[in-house]
């Protein structure tokens, strides 16, 4: 997988979700790393494209998982995220596969 580019708009949405209202470039860099790791993990488990996490074609289920991944990562509990959100990840994977199969059939 190539480097994941995190747009400022996604960083701002994550900060809003976490209730971070102050400016701190060190924290922004940490959050960017967490966002990248979260996108890589969720994409790897579900097949959801990296572009589905932001922009006009955002997949809100994938984005919600990402926000929660960052919440857990920030508290040092990624292992708990993987356990607690296993069914959501499987569900997203199934929906993504159905959507892609339907698109391929035309």
- The residue extents of the domains of the chain are 8-105
| The two three-digit tokens of residue 101, written as one number | 């199969």
- pLDDT mean by block of 10 residues, the chain; 106 residues: 85 97 96 97 95 91 97 98 97 90 74
Calculate Rg over the CA atoms of the chain: 14
pLDDT value for 101: 80
pLDDT value for 3: 85
pLDDT value for 104: 77
CB–CB of 93/42 below 8 Å? no
pLDDT value for 100: 79
pLDDT value for 1: 47
47 secondary structure, DSSP code: -
92 secondary structure, DSSP code: H
pLDDT value for 75: 97
pLDDT value for 106: 65
């Amino acid at each position: 997988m190539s480097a994941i580019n995190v747009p400022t708009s996604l960083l701002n949405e994550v900060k809003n979700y976490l209730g971070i209202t102050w400016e701190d470039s060190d924290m922004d860099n940490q959050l960017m790393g967490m966002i990248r790791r979260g996108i890589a993990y969720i994409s790897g488990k579900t097949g959801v494209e990296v572009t589905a996490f932001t922009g006009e074609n955002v997949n809100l289920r994938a984005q919600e998982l990402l926000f929660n991944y960052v919440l857990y990562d920030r508290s040092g509990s990624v292992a708990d995220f993987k356990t607690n959100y296993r069914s959501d990840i499987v569900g997203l994977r199934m929906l993504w596969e159905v959507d892609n199969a339907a698109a391929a059939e035309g």
